[in-house]
Amino acid sequence: MNHLLAALLTRVVGFSGQQVPVSNRCRRLHPTLFIALILMLTACQFSAEGGRKATPLPSSVRLRVIATFSIVGDFAQNVGGDLIELKTLAGLGSDIHEFEPNPSDALAVRNANVLLENGLGLETWVDRLYTSSGSQARRVIVSQGIPIRSRDVDGKVESDPHVWQDVHNAMTMTLTIRDAFVAADPANASVYQANAAAYVARLQTLDQEITTEISRLPADRRKLVTSHDAIGYFAARYGFNVIGSLLGTVATASGDPSAREFAQLVADIKASGVRAVFVESVSNPDNMERLATEANVVVSPALYTDSLGVEGSAGSTYLNAMRYNARTIVNALLGP
């Protein structure tokens, strides 16, 4: 179309760009071409205006959704189905706490309708990404309404962002995502509501399955040691005691423990009588191997804490990952 338009304009302005006298222009431009030119210019104008009007969305256009990491992305896909075009920012197996967005992430955020965030300090990088991208997306904190676990660390209150580790919280997050999609795309409200209801039913079944699985483990053996403090909500929901974590923090899954904290954790593990500790799929296993050797316990296969696994793995979806985690924890703590 641009080539044709250029050709028509050439007829008016002349190839060199030099203006031709008006009388000549009227003589040279055939009436049919003149009408075509007007029609094309009008069409271009309508197109530009259509682009500026982002809402309401026509039913043929999918809602563009960004999820900051894979677990929220999975909830979003289950609620949105075919009605959304989902992009998940932090890759599978990466540390969400330390994620570094690239320019294509900024472009996706800029073009998004909805940005789904866990909140509670999990995504320390998201405010800057949102602002710098110039996005107008509706930001939704999916942990809203969930009772938050917090603790005092050197006089400072630290909130635990890993709310999804309690399946009941996953239900709340699903409903928050449903409400966000309904608000952004009311024409499809009934679809989002039906999808969310179906997924919450599957989460209820999952919760029962985990409870049944955990019941195989005597209460005095429900003790957990993990790479970082990612599993407090799971522990609270299913009756576990968290002995400690290698990194001793809810704020990162990367790094090295201090020598003093490492020695203390070895002592705590020996005193607890546990036979296994749990490395996480998002953490470096080397330090956990060293800890297990020092404390004379075994390292369990990795748990899915802050990320889902790749397609085809045991943790490829939230439902699979939580089922796998429960079974792995019970088997490791029961022993052979």
Least separation in angstroms between CB 156 and Zn ion: 18
Q: How many residues bind Zn ion, per CB under 5 A?
A: 3
Cis, bond preceding 301 (omega within 30 deg of 0):
no
CB 131 within 8 A of CB 105: no
**Partners of 280 in beta bridges:** 303
Q: Round to whole Å and give the CA distance between 165 and 174.
A: 14
- For Zn ion, which stretch binds (CB under 5 A), given 49-57, 174-182, 227-235, 287-295? 227-235
- Alpha-carbon separation of residue 59 from 63, 97, 105, 208, 297 (angstroms): 9, 36, 26, 37, 57
- For Zn ion, which stretch binds (CB under 5 A), given 165-173, 193-201, 216-224, 225-233? 225-233
Least separation in angstroms between CB 97 and Zn ion: 6
Least separation in angstroms between CB 332 and Zn ion: 20
Residue 177 neighbours by CB under 8 Å, 6+ apart: 72, 75, 76, 79, 80, 116, 140, 142, 196
Work out whether 105 is an interface residue with Zn ion (CB under 5 A). no
Of 64 and 228, which has the nearer Cβ to Zn ion? 228
Work out whether 140 is an interface residue with Zn ion (CB under 5 A). no
Of 325, 253, 241, 336, the C-alpha closest to 298 is 336
Q: Which of 266, 306, 325, 326 binds Zn ion (CB under 5 A)?
A: 306
Q: Which residues of 101-111 are buried (b: 16+ CB within 10 A; e: fewer)?
A: beeebbebbbb
| Cα-only R_g, the chain | 28
Residue 121 neighbours by CB under 8 Å, 6+ apart: 159, 161, 251
For residues 239 to 278, the per-residue mask of contacts with Zn ion, x marking binding by CB under 5 A and - elsewhere, is --------------x-------------------------
- For Zn ion, which stretch binds (CB under 5 A), given 129-137, 149-157, 182-190, 301-309? 301-309
Of 101 and 232, which has the nearer Cβ to Zn ion? 232
Q: Round to whole Å and give the CA distance between 336 and 317.
A: 28
Q: Which of 167, 230, 279, 308 binds Zn ion (CB under 5 A)?
A: 230
CB 88 within 8 A of CB 117: no
CB atoms within 10 A of CB 134: 9
Of 213 and 306, which has the nearer Cβ to Zn ion? 306
Of 95 and 213, which has the nearer Cβ to Zn ion? 95
Least separation in angstroms between CB 227 and Zn ion: 9
Of 253 and 302, which has the nearer Cβ to Zn ion? 253
Work out whether 303 is an interface residue with Zn ion (CB under 5 A). no
Work out whether 206 is an interface residue with Zn ion (CB under 5 A). no
Least separation in angstroms between CB 302 and Zn ion: 14
Longest dimension (CA), the chain: 100
Work out whether 280 is an interface residue with Zn ion (CB under 5 A). no
Of 126 and 253, which has the nearer Cβ to Zn ion? 253
**Site of interaction with Zn ion (CB under 5 A):** 230, 253, 306
